[in-house]
Amino acid sequence: MTTTAAAKPPSALQHSTLSALRYTNFRLYFIGQVVSLSGTWMQSVAQGWLVFHLTQSELALGIVACAAGVPALILSPVAGVMVERIPRRNILIFSQIYQMILAFVLAFLTATNMVQVWHIIVLAFLLGIINAIDAPARQTIIKDMVGTENLPSGIALNAIMFNASRVVGPAAAGIALTQLGPAWCFFVNGLSFLAVIFMLIIIKVQTLVAKNDQFAPLARLREGLAFARHHATIRPLLLLAINASLFTVNISTLLPAFADTVLHSPKEGFAALSTATGIGAVIAAMLIPIAGRRFGRGRVVTVMGIFTTLACIVVSQTSDATIATIFMGIYGFAIIMQFTTVNTLIQSEVPDEFRGRVLSLYTLSWFGVSPFGALALGLVAQLIGAPIAILIYSIIGGVLGGIVALRSPEMRRLW
């Protein structure tokens, strides 16, 4: 199958990273999401610390991550059909309200000293249900706001907003954890959703939804799976995302345990590792268009897989907080450079009639497969320790990713 992105010369991709900000709707959405996602990262850091504080168990960290991801395994493919038929803005408004309520519940349980690990697991599972629908809606609404021409810019800026909040959130969480406690992190996260809800209400987005008389989700899902399976470049891109979800991405699940048992800095060390990862990711998101034009996006995906593996190996073998922080920054740079580029390539390759379903498969690769990798990693770390578990996972993920890239010359040639 001839692919559109492969046929484009580099000159066809000369769009500024910031060009999507010309659209008022996207600017409002961008501002609201930066505020909300910063709160989400605050909660993520505080929740990881709280789980390990309550249990001193790497396995418990894996169980919580698994509970958050399991719903996506079932719901993500169906969600892809939904976002093709329901206005994405309506889905996102509902999902933000739902997440806000869950954050306030966790804040209340923690502030009153009633919180137990099973509460966190249940709330993580409930959050996973809505994230399975929220994620493909977030991906597809970008094109609704900026159009096809500025889609690469919209995706890059979406990565920047996600990872800028990954810097602000953990840094704020580090301060709040030491000065106020985890309950305030959860409460602030709940408040942060008000910003994005307000922005989603005032923006005006025209969404083209499917007008089929019959919903037939299973039939439409089979069509999407068949399209992805037989596409020469979308198939390996999705396989790379699945591989990362099982292995390299899940390494961040163990950071609370690694900071505590190896760096001996459970709060400040964990916040520093998370913040460094976010800083590297923001730099990557800003450089993605330049790297793609200079080297070709297919090559960027391949090379960054190597950098991700090497960074994780170094982190696993050091007990020096400074070295670990530096290489987590490199890890954040490489993983976001790789998989924001994967996202851009998939969206460039897929036609509009399959966009929701294929992007739901991309979401499934991240949220549906990841929980099993996180659970297995937590179990391995419980048995042999976090550093060795990170080392093993890094090597396996690097080898499998390399095999997929080497066997997919069409993907490597994509611009």
Condensed to tens digits (0 to 9), the pLDDT of residues 241-290 reads 888 888 887 787 788 888 888 888 877 787 788 888 878 887 887 787 77
- With a CB cutoff of 8 Å and minimum separation 6, the contacts of 163 are 278, 281, 282, 284, 285, 332, 336
Q: What span, in angstroms and rounded, lies between the C-alpha atoms of 268 and 357?
A: 41
The domain tally of the chain equals 1
Token couple for 337 = 């450079």
Q: Which of 102-106, 166-170, 200-204, 325-329 has the lowest mean pLDDT?
A: 166-170
Instruction: Report the range out of 205-209, 227-231, 332-336 with the highest average pLDDT.
Output: 332-336
Sign of the C-alpha dihedral, residues 201, 207, 212, 214? negative
Residue 211 inside a domain? The answer is: no
Closest CA to 69 of 394, 363, 396: 363
Q: Residue 40 pLDDT more than 60?
A: yes
Residue 109 inside a domain? The answer is: yes
Q: How do residues 345-404 score in pLDDT, each as one tens digit?
A: 877 777 666 766 777 677 777 666 777 777 788 888 888 888 898 899 889 988 998 888
Residue carrying structure tokens 């989603």:
200
Please name the amino acid found at residue 388.
I
Residue 229: give the domain boundaries: 4-204+217-412
What CA–CA distances, in Å, run from 371 to 107, 247, 404? 24, 10, 22
**CATH number, domain containing residue 94:** 1.20.1250.20
Closest CA to 387 of 301, 324, 337, 340: 324
What CA–CA distances, in Å, run from 95 to 66, 127, 137, 356? 20, 9, 10, 17
Residue 212 inside a domain? The answer is: no
Token couple for 266 = 């459970």
Predicted TM-score (pTM) above 0.85: no
What is the structure's pLDDT at 303? Answer: 86
Mean pLDDT, the chain, rounded, equals 80
Apex CA 328: angle with CA 282 and CA 61, to 5°? 105
Q: Residue 214 pLDDT more than 70?
A: no
CA 135, chain centre distance (Å): 9
What is the structure's pLDDT at 103? Answer: 93
What is the structure's pLDDT at 122? Answer: 93
Residue 152 inside a domain? The answer is: yes
Task: Work out the number of other CB atoms within 10 angstroms of the CB of residue 283.
Answer: 17
Q: What span, in angstroms and rounded, lies between the C-alpha atoms of 95 and 182?
A: 23
Q: What span, in angstroms and rounded, lies between the C-alpha atoms of 28 and 32?
A: 6
Instruction: Report the range out of 2-16, 132-146, 304-318 with the highest average pLDDT.
Output: 304-318
Which band of pLDDT confidence, cut at 50, 70 and 90, is reported for residue 187?
A: very high
Residue 210 inside a domain? The answer is: no
Which band of pLDDT confidence, cut at 50, 70 and 90, is reported for residue 212?
A: low
What is the structure's pLDDT at 2? Answer: 38
Q: Residue 8 pLDDT more than 50?
A: no
Packing angle, helices 355-363 and 117-146, rounded to 10: 150
